[in-house]
Structure 1
């Protein structure tokens, strides 16, 4: 089974890139973030034409998450239950694979803007409620994969210049602690588990020739529970889509189980 996550930074702009990548990579599951589309605008027909099913939790202009799947998508959950939030940042579904039933959770964690802003505290609050929901979700779903744009570089190795970014969003102590609390529930960062010392990034700023100069961060993650991490055979970052004309500032992250 191949699963990938990709923040596409507007599916309206990059649908053709997503279609091309699906045809080339042939994932069983593709999780998208920042679709920036209302549900009525999501291109289900185009996805169906490629042989996939799809679900979407979106809004106009901002946010939006989707799961594209070869499998039937069951027991769908939009947003974090009990957390009042108008922003569309999470969607979950269960799929029945050769490895049994797996709960798939697609997330687009808030960016946080700056550590002294209201958006930063919203990010921490969102992560707190997400972690509480996830802890409960684990009681009824033994196997879970969480994937998406976490907007957190978990370690200094995941940031091109840790000293320059020190005490900023994406790398701040409180964000990293929140990420670790998810890991502590019983999850593994699949890329780092398979590539302990590899320096690779999944996001590069459009400004300052960030991609050409490799001024990036690894902020897109696929977390698997401990049972599944033992079955992961590959975890990689595909930089090719970032080389496209008018690319997303993120690129796909992939695992194979």
Structure 2
């Protein structure tokens, strides 16, 4: 079972890139973030024509998440489409469903810049809500994965020239401490488990030829509970997709699981 996460950065504007990658990579499950599309503008027909069933939580500006499953008849059992803890939060940043026996939390954590400030405060409060909800998911007796764009560089190993990012919301001590608090519940960072010493990036800015210089960040993560860790075999980043024309500033990230 191959599960992927991809901040597509505008699902309609970058639909040709998404469809090309789906055809090439053929993941079984895909978590998408930053749809930038209202609920009724999600390209369901094109996704189905590509061979995928989908559920989504759309929003016009910046947000929006979706879960895709290969096979138009594959069941995606939606569990929730919001992160609990704040009934006033109207952002479309979380979607949870069961696919092929795995509970999947697709998330798009707030960017938080400029920091400090209200956006950074929202980022940290959203993170605390995620930590609280994740603690409950961790106790479930089923395989669970929390994946998506965390907008966090956990360590200096996860950023090109970390000294340039010290004041950025994605690298501030408060943000990294929140990520470590989440992982400390017992979750396994899939890519770091398999490749503890390698430099791995999942995002390259559009400016200053970041992709060409490999001046990247690792901000898209897979966290697995113990029920799923034993099934992890390989993982990777489809880095070349970042080099395609009119593509997202993120590259797709994936893990491969053994069958039960």
Bin the TM-score by the shorter chain. Answer: over 0.9
2:202, 2:92 → 1: CA distance? 22
2:89 corresponds in structure 1 to 85
1:12 corresponds in structure 2 to 12
2:141, 2:8 → 1: CA distance? 28
1:218 corresponds in structure 2 to 218
Residues 1:139 and 1:227: Cα distance change in structure 2 (over 3 Å): closer
2:49 corresponds in structure 1 to 49
CA contact (8 A) 2:36 2:61 kept: yes
2:67 corresponds in structure 1 to 67
Secondary structure of 1:233's match? strand
2:122 corresponds in structure 1 to 122
CA contact (8 A) 1:204 1:217 kept: yes
1:168, 1:133 → 2: CA distance? 26
C-alpha deviations, 1:27-75, integer Å up to 9, x for none? 0001100010011011111111122110111111221000001331114
CA contact (8 A) 2:30 2:68 kept: yes
2:147, 2:136 → 1: CA distance? 18
1:166, 1:136 → 2: CA distance? 32
CA contact (8 A) 1:65 1:91 kept: yes
2:111 corresponds in structure 1 to 111
C-alpha deviations, 1:170-226, integer Å up to 9, x for none? 111111111112212221110111011110211111111111111110001111112
Structure 1's unaligned 5+ residue stretches are none
Q: Could you tell which deviates more after superposition, 70-79 or 194-203?
A: 70-79
Deviation, structure 1 residue 141: 5.2
2:236 corresponds in structure 1 to 236
Deviation, structure 1 residue 138: 3.2
C-alpha deviations, 1:95-124, integer Å up to 9, x for none? 23xxxx211010000001032111011000
Deviation, structure 1 residue 228: 1.3
Structure 2's unaligned 5+ residue stretches are none
Deviation, structure 1 residue 233: 0.8
CA contact (8 A) 2:141 2:227 kept: no
CA contact (8 A) 1:57 1:64 kept: yes
RMSD value, Cα: 1.2
